[in-house]
Structure 1
């Protein structure tokens, strides 16, 4: 099987998950264009409907989907509003770092467009990690998937990672950034190139810098020498590129405390915990599941036997606590059962509970055992009940291991 066919297969599996999630969010869906020939793309460019001949439609890695909700008269109504569709777009991008939603584009909003960028896929991440030289234990090996620099692959996550590392080196006095800290947006440009070359001159002593940051290369490993201690806010910001600074600052001390309380006390355990928490929360973007929980109504296995239990006890926390029975069990464990059964939204709004419930779940399921065995598959099944999102969990695991020097 070729790499492209593998990417197409993953893409279609994610599309299936997306349509299912849209149904849970109250939308119906119809499929539009998937494959586009080069001749068709040329016409799109000529007519101003596209600006590039590098569309992912040419590779069968993009699809246009139309979403509907019932109008008051019962007829299906096409939804095109960006904010209304944002939960769908967020879910798509949460499935894998390679996924992109047209509603987040800056030049124009293409809300029906969902694509996969194979250059940033988790397959590339895993390959980069596998190629890292063994035995040195240096932080940074496997952190990027390809080279960053002029005429390089410049995958978005790789560029943003390098930009954040350059800013950390600037704050540490290892490089002078002419215009101040870089905007860590994942877009490679002249300022990023100039900063790389300045770093190579000042930190590596290169008289003729090449302006490249190769995966596992000397420049990348040197950049990682300015990483702060693990779990400090700037460190977490490099791990979770999609997290807001405010959420990182809020969760950082609480994660450190939960790890200490739950004996998540080796780099390997910490890497697996951070990978699972990162995926489950969309890298701190979601403190509760996007769906309204109606699908859980009547689930006896979750203790949802009273009217409204599905919505009231929907998933919340960095590893989502779901169902009346589980809220009750967690509440008893922390001596707050009555309070949480009355106000379960506290698990979402109280940052301490939001993190603590993840630690409680981790200990309750004895997940350190599987982390010690470096068994991502079994661990994911015990967290998720299946293998949903395992590619993204693997991507985050590789990043966490690289940053921890595992």
Structure 2
């Protein structure tokens, strides 16, 4: 199945689809469906949940800069490919796209990936101009690069949102919100409203209590994996 910006807006609770949502859709159309199998509903639900959280429900396509204490340390984060000198590369290579590509090393990897995957396209030099990552079609491809680079379908196929979150975040920051977005995405892709937990539980033969706990999430994953999702 395929998704639209309007369906994404319904999932995240936005009144209107945004340009960032449309970039996500364009990326899926260009690469995600055919090459990564994100037309499979269980993968798509996980992908939308994680990118929606990382981007503040698609409100932001670049990291909000304080700088916080953690951000101030970016400047000398050699593990991100930045230099040891405080020369401003932490700010220059702050997170961008719907998955928050951060650091010179990841920026360079994404740039090379785009050139390899789209040899007939003129790919901007993201290392020289990181803001170019937030132009189409590259903005919608950023999360797909990260998804492929880190084999995140492996955890989506298992319905393991906890490990998936750790692979993206490095920990479990925002895990409750990611789960909430996954539940909303799964329900909408199955043809329910984003809050129809009770109705789904009734149809799935579960305890009808409105609590989307492990059993309900497992049933959502099973239904999505079995192709019960609505046709888009």
Partner residue of 1:366? Answer: 151
Task: Answer yes or no: is 1:376 the counterpart of 2:161.
Answer: yes
Structure with greater helix percent: 2
Q: How many aligned residue pairs are there?
A: 177
Task: Answer yes or no: is 1:319 the counterpart of 2:84.
Answer: no
With normalisation by structure 1, the TM-score equals: 0.41
With normalisation by structure 2, the TM-score equals: 0.70
CA positional deviation for 1:232: 1.8
Partner residue of 1:302? Answer: 80
3-state secondary structure, aligned to 1:295: helix
3-state secondary structure, aligned to 2:180: helix
- Higher relative contact order, structure no. (Cα contacts within 8 Å, ≥ 6 residues apart): 2
Distance 1:338 1:233 in 2: 26
CA positional deviation for 1:354: 1.6
Distance 1:231 1:338 in 2: 27
Q: CA RMSD in A?
A: 2.0
Task: Answer yes or no: is 1:233 the counterpart of 2:5.
Answer: yes
Q: For residues 364 and 332 of structure 1, do their structure 2 counterparts lie closer, same or farther at Cα, with a shift above 3 Å needed?
A: same
Partner residue of 1:343? Answer: 129
Structure with greater strand percent: 1
Partner residue of 2:25? Answer: 252
Task: Work out whether residues 32 and 38 of structure 2, in 8 Å CA contact, stay in contact via their aligned partners in 1.
Answer: yes
CA positional deviation for 1:236: 1.6
Task: Work out whether residues 243 and 285 of structure 1, in 8 Å CA contact, stay in contact via their aligned partners in 2.
Answer: no
Partner residue of 1:270? Answer: 44
Task: Answer yes or no: is 1:285 the counterpart of 2:59.
Answer: yes
Distance 1:337 1:313 in 2: 18
Q: Tell me which structure has the larger Cα radius of gyration.
A: 1
Distance 2:144 2:176 in 1: 22
3-state secondary structure, aligned to 2:76: coil
CA positional deviation for 1:401: 0.8
CA positional deviation for 1:244: 4.2
- Per-residue CA distance 1:124-177 (angstroms, 9 max, x = gap): xxxxxxxxxxxxxxxxxxxxxxxxxxxxxxxxxxxxxxxxxxxxxxxxxxxxxx
CA positional deviation for 1:403: 1.2
Q: For residues 236 and 330 of structure 1, do their structure 2 counterparts lie closer, same or farther at Cα, with a shift above 3 Å needed?
A: same
CA positional deviation for 1:264: 1.8
